Structure 1
Amino acid sequence: MLQKALELSDIFAPHEAKRRDELFQLNRRLIHYTSAAAAVSIIRNSAVWMRNVLCMNDYMEVEHGFQLMRRSFEPPVDSESERGLRAVAAALDAIFPEISKDCIDWFNGWLFALRNKTYVTCLSEHHPSENEYGRLSMWRSYTASQVGVGLIINPLPLYSLSQTFGAFSSPVYYFGDVELRDTFFEIASNVTANKDLLASKGADEVKGYFCMLLRGIAMCTKHPGFHEEKEWRIMHTQGLDEQGALLREVEIINGVPQPVFKIPLKDHLESGMTGISIPDLLEHVIIGPTEFPMPVKDAIVIELEKAGVKDAETKVSYSNIPLRT
């Protein structure tokens, strides 16, 4: 079932397929950089928070993608990305007339919710060369006034995320107009080459994949200058996605009350989601540069042991990378 889904996904999201294949072929891991306080909360409560995109440190982290999409099909349209989108639309309409308009209308209809009611948590690809020290640019983001921690996880369970679980995952794309145009051209070519397969799937299923493409580009595109981050996002849009296993609660963060969706880190048999308990998912913890490495390590080890992690002491290390502030 997963292979068939990936077959269609690869037609509409070859840019995601490349990142996914690279992740697994090179045996990469994902890492969640956060504060030590948040890391203790995640381990202790077996839950990861997704916060509203409006509350992100830099709202342009999501606004860039919406601006690209707006230049693709909102008048006046005469951008490079719009040329690419026209090619995809023509290829799809040749199979199912008017389907591209239906998809763009769907996107516009959900635009407010996508921009204002979407909740995310962010991860980065973790290179083996970073095992000892972590990534300097990320420590700079999390150690200005607190202790930073990197939680290294097995990425495989992310591909079990589904609407029935309540969230889905996607790599972040580092596109400008030209890069998005070229991606659209590749998708148009894929659609034409697989027109018989797509015709056999029916208009509703094809529409679902194209709508997901538009949504993914809007929600997961950043400026090419951020490429070194190699970010992945886990997302949920209130009203559009089923709540599934997610828990909606109110938390006060830096004095601001706000709703958050919490991802329970335990198996969810109803959606087929397994392997996400702390002992199964978490492979290693790196503590960022701090004056108090040993006490922080001891605290993390205690929480891991309480969570059922075996040999917890061996799974926590600290980075002594020199960090200038």
Structure 2
Amino acid sequence: MYTEDGLNEDLGSSVFYHYTDSAGLIGILASESIRMTHIRYLNDEKEFTYFMEIFNREFQKSYRQLDKERVDKCTEILDVLKNVKNSTQLYIASFCEDGDQLSQWRGYANGSGYSLGFAVKDLIELMGISYDEVMKAKASTDVVAPNDNGIMLRKVIYDPEVVKEKISKLVNLLMELVCNSESSQDEETNFIFEMLSASSICKHPSFKEEKEWRLIAIEDVHEPYRVKLRSGPRGVVPYIEVPLLSMRDQFLLNKIVIGPSQHQQEQKNGIELYMRTNRKQMVNIDVSASPFRG
């Protein structure tokens, strides 16, 4: 699991929220799992392009000092990255620090929006590592090795300067790789993995209001999960389901916020009826305070 600046002791008692529509709510409550969408089917198709545009600008500043052999080596590695990006099965579930955010509700203007709250500690321990272990590792490094199911929790970066700094480090890593005649295939593979994971959390600053965190799962290490399909605006959308159960098989859902609509009380009653008659663990159900009505 990877951590970014911001995952600290203060977040230990925090709740992250996953926004969804009525179909998503029904699916999550029934399966007690989170749906992680294939990265190529996310709403913002330009994320990877945005990241690579900045990377290429920074790379141009460095590659001029290389001879042709090393330039060719850089090109080879970046070509591999492009092919891997197109073929790797990277799945993402998005969370927000705010459970009643106006900009998020605007995406559910038909009155069928919900935010589902999960304790940060539960999301971390879901990945097979205790929150205390993460904090201990954080004291010495920003990286905690992924566990067996390969799921990472990452904070999305919106600050252009921070994105540029992260990319500069990756450019330097690439330079070291191609200038070191003894660099191994494993080191090249690690670079490609770092590029992929970084590109999945760097977004344009216009999205900063989202305050997004992401659960990320990668193909090679999530073999237990079967790919499923759901309906989306552009047709079918591939996703995987990751169980949201504690070590005692308790559903980790902490809270439900019902988005702005004319029928909030009816929706609350319906959810409570479902939870009670299906012997689901009861959770706090609130209604949005936002005046937005679509």
Conserved? CA contact 1:103–1:207, under 8 Å: no
> What is the CA-CA distance between 1:252 and the residue it aligns to?
3.5
Partner of 1:299: 270
> What is the CA-CA distance between 1:38 and the residue it aligns to?
0.9
Paired amino acid for 1:294: Q
- Matches of 1:258 and 1:33 in 2, distance apart? 17
Paired amino acid for 1:41: G
**3-state SS in 2 of match to 1:20:** coil
Match of 2:195 among 214, 224, 233: 214
Mapping of residues 1-325 of structure 1, within 5 Å: 16-21=3-8, 24=11, 27-73=13-59, 77-78=60-61, 108-115=79-86, 117-126=89-98, 134-142=100-108, 144-159=109-124, 160=127, 162=146, 164-176=148-160, 178-183=161-166, 211-238=192-219, 241-254=220-233, 256-266=235-245, 274=247, 279-305=250-276, 306=278, 308-310=280-282, 312=283, 315-323=284-292, 325=294
- Matches of 2:91 and 2:279 in 1, distance apart? 26
**3-state SS in 2 of match to 1:58:** coil
Conserved? CA contact 1:166–1:245, under 8 Å: no
> What is the CA-CA distance between 1:225 and the residue it aligns to?
2.5
The structure-2 alpha-carbon separation of the partners of 1:187 and 1:251, relative to structure 1 and needing over 3 Å to count, comes to: closer
- Matches of 2:258 and 2:195 in 1, distance apart? 37
> What is the CA-CA distance between 1:172 and the residue it aligns to?
0.9
Return the TM-score normalized by structure 2. Answer: 0.71
Structure 1, gaps ≥5 residues long: 1-5, 10-15, 87-97, 190-202, 268-273
**3-state SS in 2 of match to 1:39:** helix
> What is the CA-CA distance between 1:205 and the residue it aligns to?
8.5
Q: CA RMSD in A?
A: 3.6
Partner of 1:193: none
**3-state SS in 2 of match to 1:48:** strand
Conserved? CA contact 2:244–2:251, under 8 Å: no
> What is the CA-CA distance between 1:249 and the residue it aligns to?
2.1
Conserved? CA contact 2:35–2:240, under 8 Å: yes
> What is the CA-CA distance between 1:156 and the residue it aligns to?
2.2
Conserved? CA contact 2:111–2:259, under 8 Å: no
**3-state SS in 2 of match to 1:18:** coil
Conserved? CA contact 2:55–2:171, under 8 Å: no
Partner of 2:143: none
**3-state SS in 2 of match to 1:173:** coil
The structure-2 alpha-carbon separation of the partners of 1:102 and 1:228, relative to structure 1 and needing over 3 Å to count, comes to: farther
Paired amino acid for 1:263: V
Which stretch of structure 1 is more off in the superposition, 148-157 or 164-173?
Answer: 164-173
Aligned length: 257
- Matches of 1:24 and 1:188 in 2, distance apart? 31
Structure 2, gaps ≥5 residues long: 129-145, 173-183
- Matches of 1:120 and 1:188 in 2, distance apart? 25
> What is the CA-CA distance between 1:227 and the residue it aligns to?
1.8
Paired amino acid for 2:117: I
- Matches of 1:322 and 1:28 in 2, distance apart? 25
Q: Could you list the per-position Cα deviations for residues 123-145 of structure 1 after superposition, in whole angstroms to 9, with x for gaps in the alignment?
A: 1123xxx6xxx111111122x22
- Matches of 2:92 and 2:112 in 1, distance apart? 22
Conserved? CA contact 2:111–2:262, under 8 Å: no
Return the TM-score normalized by structure 1. Answer: 0.65
> What is the CA-CA distance between 1:284 and the residue it aligns to?
0.8
Q: Could you list the per-position Cα deviations for residues 6-37 of structure 1 after superposition, in whole angstroms to 9, with x for gaps in the alignment?
A: 8xx6xxxxxx4422126526x32210011122
